[in-house]
Amino acid sequence: MVGIIAFGAYVPRLRLQRQAVVAANAWFNAGLRANGKGERAMASWDEDAITMAVEAARDTLTGLDRGRVNKVVLASTSLPFADRQNAGVVKEALNLSDEVASMDVSGSQRAGASALLDALQASKGGAGEILCLAAEKRAAAPASELELTSGAAAAGLLVGEGEVVAEFLGGHSSSIDFVDHFRSEGQEFDYGWEARWVRDEGYAKIGPKAVKAALAKVGIEAAAVDHFVMGAPMKGVNDAVAKSSGIRPEAVKEPLAAVMGDAGSAQALILLAQVLEAAQPDKIIVVVGFGQGCDVLVFRTTGRIVGALKGLGVSGWLARKKPEANYIKYLFFNGQVALDKGMRAEFDQKTALTALYRNRKAVMALVGGKDKMTGTVQFPKSEISVAQNARSIGQQEDYPLADRVARILTHTADSLAYSPDPPTYYGAVEFEEGGRITCEFTDVDAEDVVVGAGMRMMFRIKAVDEMRGFTKYFWKAVPDYRAAAKPALAAE
C-alpha cells in the first residue's frame, strides 16, 4: 500500500492585516476594498521558501527517524536560487545523509500537486520514502489584488509504502497551455489575465474534466467523495468545480482565504495537510492542483489517521500568530521600499564558499560535538574537548542540536547595530542535554526574552550578500512554540 505516511506544515508568525494595505492604497485602486477583510500570512525578512520548507519538513518528521527519507522534493515558484539546488539546502538543514536525492519542481501553480503525484508514483515503483515539500513566498506588486490575496506558507508530506495514514488510489494529469497568468525570466511580478475568463474557461472547463477522469480511473463515484481540496484563490471557484464534477457541496474544503491567503503552488498540499488533521478512517479525499492543466490525486484514509498528527500542523501554526498592521514594514521586508539603512549596514557579506562547504554540518544543520569519554557537548565541534580536566583529543562524535530544547542564559537588545527589524535580540542559550551557543533570537517580543525562557532553534536567513546575490542561512532561537501549543511535544 502506497500513500501518505506523515504530514505537516508551516505558516509564518506575522499576519498582515488586509485593512492596512487597503488604507494605504485605496486612494489609487478603490477596488482593493473588496478584499480588505481578514489577514494574510506574511513572511519575516529572514524567511523564504527554503526556510519555510525546512520548518514544514521538521513538522512532518516529528517523532520519525529521518534516516528513512530517500529523497527530498521541493516545489515552489518563488525559490530563492535559480541555479543552486534549493532542495539540497533543505536536505542539509535537516542533516540527512549525503546519499539522499533531492530535486526542485517549479514553473506552475500546480507544482506542489505535480511533485506529490510524481513522488507517490516513484514510491510505488520502489523509490522508497520521499519527503515532498511545497513552499511559497510570492512577490506581489504594491496595490495589486495579489498583494492582498496571497500568503506565505509551506506544507510537507512523507510518502511511501507501508503503514500509511492515507492510501493513494490513483491520479490523473492533463497538460494545457492555458495562461491565466505568467512571469517571464527576469520579471519580479506576475502578469494576470481577466478573472472572469480564467474562471469560466480555465477552472470551470479544465478542472471538472480532470476530476471526472481521475475518479473514473480509480472507480470512485463523485458522490462518495468526502473531502474536495483545490484551493483556487477566486471566490466560489472551488464550489463550482466540485458541483460540475458531481461532488457534494459539503465536501469542499474552505481555502483559508481569510486567515492565511493563497500560498500558490503549496496551497493544495497545505489544505490536504489540514484535512488530514481531523479526517476519520475510510474517507475519500480528492486533491486538485491547477495551472496550465490539472493534477488530480485521490486518497482513502486508513485507520492510522486517528491521532496521526505529531507536529503542530496547519491549525497549530495558524494559531501561533501576531497581527501586523505596519504596511511599510511589509514592503521593506519584501524589498519593495528603500529605507535609509545607515552606514552601519555598509559592510561586505561575502561568503567563503570553501569554508561553508567544510563547515556545512555546523552551519547548515547545527551539528555540534559530544565527547565520547566525558559526554561533554559543545558547539562547534572540534578536535579538542572543552571539558574541564579532561582535554581529550579526537574523541568527539556528531551531536545534532537543532531539534533540542534550549533555555536563555543571557540576552541583549541591540538598537545600534543594523537590523532589518530592530532591535536585534541575541544572547546565549544552553541546550537541556548540554552545549551552548550564542545566536540571534527571532519571532520574539520584549516580554519573550527573559533568562530561563524555553527556546527552540529555527533555520532562518542570517544575511543577504546583495553584491553577489547570495543568501546566507543559519539557526536562530525562537520561543518554544511547541510547548505552548502542544505540551506533549516538548517531552519528545
Query: In the 3-class helix/strand/coil scheme, how is 302-359 assigned residue by residue?
Result: CHHHCCCCCCCHHHHHHHCCEEECCHHHHHHHCCCCCCCCCHHHCCCCCCCHHHHHHC
State the CB neighbour count (10 A cutoff) for residue 185: 5
CB 314 within 8 A of CB 9: yes
In this structure, the chain runs to a length of 492
State the CB neighbour count (10 A cutoff) for residue 304: 15
Predicted local distance difference test score (pLDDT) of residue 485:
55
Predicted local distance difference test score (pLDDT) of residue 173:
97
Dist CA 95 CA 24 (whole Å): 43
Q: What is the 3-state secondary structure (H, E, C) of 60-127?
A: HCCCCCHHHEEEEEEECCCCCCCCCCHHHHHHHHCCCCCCCEEEEECCCCCHHHHHHHHHHHHHHCCC
CB 94 within 8 A of CB 459: no
Look at residues 263, 208, 191, 199 and name the one whose alpha carbon lies nearest to residue 235.
199
Q: Which residues of 317-338 are buried (b: 16+ CB within 10 A; e: fewer)?
A: bbebbeebeebebbbbbbebee
| β-pair type (69-75, 101-105) | parallel
Dist CA 175 CA 197 (whole Å): 18
Maximum CA pair distance of the chain?
76
Dist CA 306 CA 46 (whole Å): 35
Dist CA 35 CA 48 (whole Å): 25
Look at residues 230, 252, 248, 314 and name the one whose alpha carbon lies nearest to residue 278.
314
Q: Which amino acid is at 291?
A: G
CB 181 within 8 A of CB 146: no
Dist CA 70 CA 395 (whole Å): 30
Beta bridge partners of 393: 384
Alpha helices in 372-473 (DSSP H): none
Per-residue pLDDT of the chain (492 residues; tens, 9 = 90+): 999 999 999 999 999 999 999 999 999 999 999 999 999 999 999 999 999 999 999 999 999 999 999 999 999 999 999 999 999 999 999 999 999 999 999 999 999 999 999 999 999 999 999 999 999 999 999 999 999 999 999 999 999 999 999 999 999 999 999 999 999 998 999 999 999 999 999 999 999 999 999 999 999 999 999 999 999 999 899 999 999 999 999 999 999 999 999 999 999 999 999 999 999 999 999 999 999 999 999 999 999 999 999 999 999 999 999 999 999 999 999 999 999 888 888 888 899 999 999 999 999 999 999 998 889 999 999 888 888 777 778 889 999 999 999 999 999 999 999 999 999 999 999 999 899 999 999 999 999 999 999 999 999 999 999 889 999 999 999 999 876 554 434 333
CB 464 within 8 A of CB 294: no
CB 170 within 8 A of CB 219: no
| β-pair type (129-136, 69-75) | parallel
Look at residues 401, 369, 399, 398 and name the one whose alpha carbon lies nearest to residue 385.
369
Domains of the chain: 2-333 (3.40.47.10), 343-366+401-491 (no CATH)
Dist CA 274 CA 153 (whole Å): 13
Beta bridge partners of 157: 7, 132
Look at residues 158, 109, 111, 140 and name the one whose alpha carbon lies nearest to residue 2.
158
CA distances from 492 to 61, 311, 368, 459, 487 (A): 12, 11, 20, 20, 10
**Locus of grid cell 538598537:** 415
Look at residues 8, 1, 16 and name the one whose alpha carbon lies nearest to residue 329.
16
